[in-house]
Amino acid sequence: MTSQVSSPAGKSDETVVGEQRAPRIDRTGATDKEIRRLDRVIIRFAGDSGDGMQLTGDRFTSETASFGNDLSTLPNFPAEIRAPAGTLPGVSSFQLHFADHDILTPGDAPNVLVAMNPAALKANIADVPRGADIIVNTDEFTKRPMAKVGYAESPLEDGSLEAFNVHPVPLTTLTIEALKEFGLSRKEAERSKNMFALGLLSWMYNRPTEGTEEFLRSKFAKKPTIAEANVAAFRAGWNFGETTEDFAVSYEVAPASQAFPTGTYRNISGNLALSYGLIAAGRQADLPVYLGSYPITPASDILHELSKHKNFGVRTFQAEDEIAGIGAALGASFGGSLGVTTTSGPGVALKSETIGLAVSLELPLLIIDIQRGGPSTGLPTKTEQADLLQAMYGRNGEAPVPIVAPRTPADCFDAALEAARIALTYRTPVFLLSDGYLANGSEPWRIPEVDGLPDLRTQFATGPNHELADGTEVFWPYKRDPETLARPWAVPGTPGLEHRIGGIEKQDGSGNISYDPANHDFMVRTRQAKIDGIEVPGLEVDDPAGATTLVLGWGSTYGPITAAVRRLRAAGETIAQAHLRHLNPFPRNLGEVLRGYDKVVVPEMNLGQLSLLLRAKYLVDAQSYTQVNGMPFKAEQLATALKEAIDA
Amino acid sequence: MPDANELLQLVPKAEGKQSMKDFKSDQEVRWCPGCGDYAVLAAVQGFMPELGLARENITFVSGIGCSSRFPYYMNTYGMHSIHGRAPSIATGLATSRRDLSVWVVTGDGDALSIGGNHLIHALRRNVNLKILLFNNRIYGLTKGQYSPTSEVGKITKSTPMGSLDAPFNPVSLALGAEATFVARTVDSDRKHLTSVLRAAADHPGTALVEIYQNCNIFNDGAFEVLKDRERAEEAVIRLEHGKQILFGAEGSKGVVRDALTGDLSVVAVTEENKSRILVHDAHNPSPTTAFALSRLADADTLHHTPIGVLRSVERPVYDALMSDQLDTAIEQHGKGDLSTLLSGNDTWTVVG
């Protein structure tokens, strides 16, 4: 589906719209019911794990993306596939922020909460600001479900929700009623109540509906009755909004035409963008991609996605364990593929020894770590940035590995290409540190021109590269390129270059086993120098007003930090902002940037891992601001913390 | 499914005649003098020219342990990797490069302790790998602790009062792990070793060859009963496909199946039971009899140890199946177009 959105020529989005701006109301009243115009809305769908909230959120997101709003999403679900029904731990939610302007986060607090049961209400009510709309499924507010979550009295009746604009809707009853023609069992019919809710919200926000109907028909292509029942529930929800007096107004959020540069857009999640980035890297390097992986949340979707694209010559190997996943990827790299392994923190721990081997073998390899809450199993479905030091130092011996971190879901595409560039140019394993928030969150993405993607082609060794004293021409696997310090990549099948490599220390140049102390010292320093010497772009600082305080972040905190900075600037504060994409090596100018400010604040979703590195390397008093609750920072909270730092 | 020969044909042939010398690297061999590994190295180097494969298309991958130094001494491509992981690395190489002949060299500790998981999964997948498992029933490189194939009660540095755990029988293990080719041979019997290597090389899919190998430093004489001419007659059962399973002086002993239990046992051959002596069928689709044969040996005395090819059956090869899926995907969807992929089905356009 393609919709045309035109934006006034020459008008870019340099004038930033403050995120804290109150919804603007424009009474147009074009239909029977009043339509108010808003500049942005945050909706949260919340229900039981089995209620289909993620699907509902995804569909609303697709409708919103195709309408041309800017958007940002935050799925939030338990690690249990089906936690006990109706309980607090079983609540699954999906938050979507959409606007007529450029936005950066899924939003702090929802303007609308859809609560499918008492547990969903109880788990989410603390996040809902006074005056917000709450749509509740009254059918679930009976004695037992309420008792399960500790409501002695119905919150719908005891006055505790007086500060909110509550819309009681018997969603289950209405859905069953709407589907009575279909001859479904009560249980089957009830399942469509999420589509009823989606229909109602689609009416409330004037979303296009064709996409969802098409989606339902293709999803249930083999069960046409179920498909039509879902479509009917979806339409019933829409009609309910239009006809019921409880919903007096609907809202319009205009396309974010001015927020976007010219181009063709789609909505994309971080893991999908990363998967496409890997396929693109293979194409740009003219090498087959080989993914060795073991399923782990929240990284498995990359394995699923890449396994669908075998027609790009992509091989995916679901190994017996994490170690075999990276082993196979490294074996494929030895054979001349672009070897990739995907995992999360616990998997990285298991792969550490093989990463060390890759450092020693000096072969290209991509290690994709979709970070989640730790330590140990931790919080599998929640986000965290606490693997930075593991990626940096989590190996025996001096084993430096470059690290690249994407900043937004769509940026995962570019980060994958950048990680591949470093791996191939410098013949080294490279870490890509994404996280659960980027992986599952989504945003609009301007689809790049394939011709404009970077050229990642690299040369395999084809002949001897060294002459012995007696004039014999030989191949030395560890004779380096003097500029990059990369060693030649000689793949099996190349005549005359037969050689043996391994994890034992090797003689500089010849690559033969060597236990010579001076040689080991030289090789350790050379491997470090190779990584330190990797060319990475300088750090750009956004500092329009000559601030004295710098906020420096890395990875997925980009959205909340930037939103907080906008708020502060809109309130008249001066603050500089910079965001690191390369964590190893750091940009050359980083020390200079840090020394240019009186105060440096480093917000991280860990206990201060980047700030530790900065303090150690640059001797600067980097202040840490941290949060490890499994959720991204909220812009408001960060703005407050940064304001305190400015005023301190 | 392409047939077996077709799979093996993917590896390019050598131009001109090769000799054993072509397969010797310039590296000094550093095993202990008298180590059984020398004999295996010589047998492999001597046998390679027979395959006639381009040397640059042969790769040896090893883990960690004495035997895992093997690749350094072969003038082919090679990787000395990390402990236990050689099968996984070799799997990545073999499944991405079907034009290579990939060999794994491993030991009883490397393959059956730290790397046990990778070994069984390589076997069940049937990746085109030839795995040479050097079994000396001891840890050599770490200087003499008991291994997962050591006999119960073994006194070693780590078990001064004797080891407690029951050993693995690598052949039984491999058969249980769905291996399509399982053989056993002995380091000192060059002729037998070479014949088994030949059969393994001809097998499409994973071939596991257990090689009983003497560690003259930490477990000297572990297999002496199988090597000493006189005692070997009673101890070793030489299996040959299609032939009756006879051994002992002038074939005086044989293997029969117990009609009641179905199990195998050793009997003295008589006129009455002669017709009941089992005929070895390595190609039997059922692994039951091969497994029963693998259990004949006494773990302590090694009496009735079968050597030779216990099982050699054909099953689809993982690398071929993986490549077939790539071909099928292209047939069904055409060669991937990046631009189309990136666009997806749900786009909108912003015009200036």
Domains, chain B, ordered by start: 4-222+317-343 (3.40.50.970), 234-309 (no CATH)
Closest CA to A165 of A202, A123, A128, A117: A128
pLDDT at residue B5, rounded to an integer = 59
pLDDT in tens, B240-272: 999 999 999 999 999 999 999 999 999 999 999
**Digit-coded pLDDT (tens) for A559-616:** 999 999 999 999 999 999 999 999 999 999 999 999 999 999 999 999 999 999 999 9
pLDDT reading at A455 higher than 60: yes
Residue B310 predicted with pLDDT over 80: yes
The pLDDT of residue B3 is 55
Nearest CA in chain B to A272: B342
Distance separating alpha carbons of residues A274 and A289, to the nearest angstrom = 13
> Which pLDDT score, from 0 to 100, does residue B352 have?
65
| Residues of chain B positioned with their CB less than 8 A from the CB of A257 | 350
Cα dihedral sign for A208, A212, A214, A217? negative
Chain A environment of B55 (Cβ under 8 Å): 495, 498
In chain A, the percentage of residues whose pLDDT exceeds 90 is 90
> pLDDT > 90: what percent of chain B?
93
Q: Do A311 and B326 touch (CB under 8 A)?
A: yes
Output Rg (C-alpha) for chain A, integer angstroms. 27
Q: According to the model, what pLDDT value does residue A298 have? A: 97
Q: Distance of alpha carbon A46 from its chain centroid, rounded? A: 21
**A374-380: long-range contacts at Cβ-Cβ below 8 A with a sequence spacing of 24 or more?**
A374/A345, A374/A346, A376/A346, A377/A346, A378/A345, A378/A346, A379/A79, A379/A630, A380/A79, A380/A297, A380/A298, A380/A344
State whether B79 and A447 contact (CB < 8 Å). no
A414 to chain B, closest Cα gap in Å: 13
From the list A257, A283, A315, which residue is nearest B95 (CB)? Answer: A315
In the prediction, which pLDDT does B7 show? 65
What would the two tokens of residue A104 be?
């950066």
Q: Which amino acid is at A327?
A: G
Query: What does the pLDDT average to over A427-442?
Result: 97
d(CA A95, CA B332): 38
Compute the nearest-CA separation of A28 from chain B (Å): 25
**Does A19 score more than 50 pLDDT?**
no
% pLDDT > 70, chain A = 95
Tell me if A7 and B352 make a contact (CB, 8 A cut-off). Answer: yes
Short-list B159, B151, B144, CA closest to B217: B144
Q: How far apart are CA A501 and CA A505, in angstroms?
A: 10
From chain A, pick out residues whose CB is under 8 angstroms from the CB of B105: none
Across chain A, mean pLDDT equals: 93
pLDDT for A519 beyond 90: yes
CB contact under 8 A, B117 and A324: yes
Strand duo B181-186 + A165-169: pairing: unpaired
| Per-residue pLDDT, A21 | 35
Nearest CB among A66, A292, A313 relative to B92 is that of: A292
* DSSP type of residue A260: S
Residues on chain A touching B56 (C-beta within 8 angstroms) = 492-498
pLDDT above 80 for A17: no
Q: Is the pTM of this model over 0.90?
A: yes
Q: Are residues A406 and A555 in contact, defined by beta-carbon separation less than 8 angstroms?
A: yes
A57-76 average pLDDT score: 93
Query: Are B258 and B264 spatial neighbours (Cβ–Cβ below 8 Å)?
Result: yes
Confidence of residue B4 (pLDDT cuts 50, 70, 90): low
Pick the closest to residue A247 from A29, A34, A44, A43 (CA basis): A34
Residue of A nearest to B53 (CA): A493
pLDDT at A25 over 60: no
Average pLDDT over residues A392-405: 98
Q: Residue A498 pLDDT more than 50? A: yes
Tokens of B58: 């042969």
Q: Are residues A332 and B55, on separate chains, in Cβ contact within 8 Å?
A: no
Minimum-distance CB partner of B96 among A262, A288, A309 = A288
Q: Is the pLDDT of residue A3 over 60?
A: no
Q: What is the mean pLDDT of residues B58-69?
A: 97
CB contact under 8 A, A447 and B57: no
pLDDT, tens digit, for every residue of B109-156? Answer: 999 999 999 999 999 999 999 999 999 999 999 999 999 999 999 999
Section A190-215 average pLDDT? 94
3-state secondary structure A48-113: EHHHCHHHHHHHHHHHHHHHCCEEEEEEECCCCCCCCCCCHHHEEEEEEEEECCCCCCCCCCCCEE
Q: What's the angle, vertex CA B33, arms to CA B32 and CA B35, rounded to 5?
A: 70
3-state helix, strand, coil in chain B (%, to 5): 35, 20, 45
- Substitution target in A215, A267, A500 with the highest count of B β-carbons within 10 Å is A500
Nearest to B134 by CA among B218, B36, B47, B220: B36
Domains of chain A, earliest start first: 34-253 (3.40.920.10), 271-452 (3.40.50.970), 459-534 (no CATH), 541-647 (3.40.50.920)
Which of A7, A311, A328 lies nearest to residue B92, judging by beta carbons? A328
Model pLDDT, residue B348 = 87
Would the pLDDT of B6 be above 90?
no
**Computed from CA positions of residues B118, B122, B128, B130, in that sequence, does the dihedral angle turn out positive or negative?**
positive
Among A279, A320, A337, whose Cβ lies nearest the Cβ of B117? A320
Spatial CA neighbour of A298 closest among A378, A408, A404, A417: A378
Find, in chain A, the residue whose alpha carbon is nearest to that of B347: A266
